[in-house]
A and B are shown apart, each in its own frame.
Chain A
Amino acid sequence: MSSPPSASASSSPPPCPKKMITLRSSDGATFEIEETAALQSKTLENMIHENCASTLIPVPNITGEVLARVVEFCSKHAEAGVDDESLGAWDEEFVAVDHTTLFDYIRAANFLEIPTLLDLGCQTVADMIKGKTPDEIKKTFKITTACTPEEEEEVRGENQWAFE
């Protein structure tokens, strides 16, 4: 029978070993994440409950590059004792990335159903969009598809109320 580690003079019980989950990206890279952090994703939560025996979860839609960052996000947001201000600052840095990466985060958060990350990503894109005209947005985000003239006319009619 092993004796508990006597790290400090206080009588607090030893920390429980944290359950780790391994995620495997679409390109075969693996990442470890604490179960508590993984539970921020509704998708992962369901998978964890379904595969109770195994701790390896394949995440086929997301590349290693993006999954690494998602794991970082979830771990940070599962950390205890982080005040709102520092978390906010950390989040701001997290999304200070190029558009492509930002959309990767949004797609990953959508697939994995991580409301905090989805909200953060979408708010960031919304802030970029605010105040820009539709044409400016097309240019900035390189949107190449468009409605037909007939569709545009319909859309104009449907939305006229907002400009009256």
Chain B
Amino acid sequence: MGSSFSGFSSDSDADGDGALAKPRLGDIPESCVAAVLMHLDPTQICSLARLNRAFRGASSADFIWEAKLPENYGTIVEKVLDEPKVLNLGKKEIYARLCRPNSFDGGTKEVWLDKRTGGVCLSISFKALMITGIDDRRYWNHISTEESRFHSVAYLQQIWWFEVDGELEFPFPTGTYSVFFRVQLGKSTKRLGRRVCNPEHVHGWDIKPVHFQLTTSDGQRVASHCHVDNPGNWIHYHMGDFVVGKSDTSTKINFSMTQIDCTHTKGGLCVDCVLICPSSVGKLINSLS
């Protein structure tokens, strides 16, 4: 760390003694400004970049962004981005790049960093899930919609055996993650510019709850159940959490959502995707949708 001044104080009302102007925030070295910025969140750091040149320079200091990136960001970049050169960019650019939704696995998955915390978030389209009867048009259809980041969702008309399974192997950084199923009762369309929800096929969900199950390859297991409700709205159903202890290996998880009580049929459900994100981010999820 140098002690060179960026030389900014232009106020001539410095002090009567005229010898050394009292330091102001605009005077302290760029490296110190960077040390201050490190304690702020990314959005605030970026908004302060325009204050003056020292702030602009300081806001790009590698050590700030290295601390905000996931500890295994190199592995994630390699897995998800097709451009290895990204790792040669400054750390701030890498952070920015990872904050954008990055599509992988043939467009069936997206991964991004939560801007504020740098936490890894991942969304898996229904296209990458195993849905019983998905190819049978008596039961399931695909609907194009802008209400999904994948631009289409699976719509269930009616079925006895409702089962959606999925699995994922991904290098999650250390932390606790929440898994959600994003579904909606009823089919929404736009009529004359207004959003309209068609509940014609909705039935059976109030009879018995759906069951969720989440397991990891290192033996964690969560099972829960709840009633699917709230027609006309996309809801993230929290199915459970898992913990990643070490980020040097990939984490493998299996998850499912089922309602296989064959004494009744159920239908009218849109299935969009499974969302995985840090628990702290997950807590806010339903207040945003």
A161 touching B99 in the complex, CB below 8 Å, given contacts A110-B32, A122-B35, A122-B38 = yes
Chain B residue nearest to A146 (CB atoms) is: B52
Asked if B50 and A156 make an inter-chain contact with CB atoms under 8 angstroms apart, the answer reads yes
B8 within 8 A of A: yes
B67 within 8 A of A: no
A141–B55 Cα distance when bound, in Å, is 13
A146–B53 Cα distance when bound, in Å, is 7
Interface residues as binary, B11-34 with A (CB distance below 8 Å gives 1, 0 otherwise): 100000000101111111101100
A111, A146, A159 — most chain B CB neighbours (10 Å): A159
Which residues in B have their C-beta under 8 angstroms from that of A125?
A: 25, 36
Chain B residue nearest to A119 (CB atoms) is: B35
Asked if B24 and A141 make an inter-chain contact with CB atoms under 8 angstroms apart, the answer reads yes
Interface residues as binary, A109-137 with B (CB distance below 8 Å gives 1, 0 otherwise): 01101000011001101110110011001
- Per DSSP, are chain B's interface residues mostly helix, strand or loop, or mixed? loop
A-B contact list, 23 entries, CB within 8 Å: A61-B3, A99-B24, A99-B25, A103-B25, A103-B28, A107-B32, A110-B1, A110-B28, A119-B35, A122-B36, A123-B39, A137-B51, A138-B51, A142-B26, A143-B8, A143-B25, A143-B51, A146-B51, A147-B52, A151-B53, A158-B49, A162-B42, A162-B99
Asked if A104 and B23 make an inter-chain contact with CB atoms under 8 angstroms apart, the answer reads yes
A99–B28 Cα distance when bound, in Å, is 12
A142–B51 Cα distance when bound, in Å, is 11
A31–B46 Cα distance when bound, in Å, is 41
A134 touching B3 in the complex, CB below 8 Å, given contacts A107-B23, A122-B38 = no
Tally chain A residues at the interface, Cβ within 8 Å: 40
B56 within 8 A of A: yes
* Partner-A contacts on B (CB < 8 A): 1, 3, 8-11, 20, 22-29, 31-32, 35-40, 42-53, 56, 59, 96, 99-100, 115
Contact of A161 among B3, B37, B48, B96 (CB under 8 A): B96
A77–B128 Cα distance when bound, in Å, is 55
Interface residues as binary, A63-80 with B (CB distance below 8 Å gives 1, 0 otherwise): 100000000000000000
Asked if B11 and A144 make an inter-chain contact with CB atoms under 8 angstroms apart, the answer reads yes
A106 touching B28 in the complex, CB below 8 Å, given contacts A144-B9, A161-B99, A162-B47 = yes
A113–B48 Cα distance when bound, in Å, is 25
Which residues in B have their C-beta under 8 angstroms from that of A61?
A: 3
Which residues in B have their C-beta under 8 angstroms from that of A133?
A: 47
Closest CB in chain B relative to A141 CB, distance in Å: 4
Closest CB in chain B relative to A65 CB, distance in Å: 11
Asked if A163 and B46 make an inter-chain contact with CB atoms under 8 angstroms apart, the answer reads yes
Contact of A143 among B3, B24, B36, B37 (CB under 8 A): B24
A129 touching B100 in the complex, CB below 8 Å, given contacts A107-B28, A142-B24 = no
Closest CB in chain A relative to B95 CB, distance in Å: 9
Interface residues as binary, A30-54 with B (CB distance below 8 Å gives 1, 0 otherwise): 0000000000000000000000000
Asked if A134 and B47 make an inter-chain contact with CB atoms under 8 angstroms apart, the answer reads yes
A110–B1 Cα distance when bound, in Å, is 7
A86 within 8 A of B: no
Which residues in A have their C-beta under 8 angstroms from that of B99?
A: 161-162
Closest CB in chain A relative to B45 CB, distance in Å: 8
Known contacts A147-B53, A159-B59, then 10 further A-B pairs from the complex at CB < 8 Å, ordered by chain A residue:
A61-B3, A99-B25, A110-B32, A119-B35, A130-B40, A142-B25, A145-B52, A146-B51, A147-B52, A162-B42
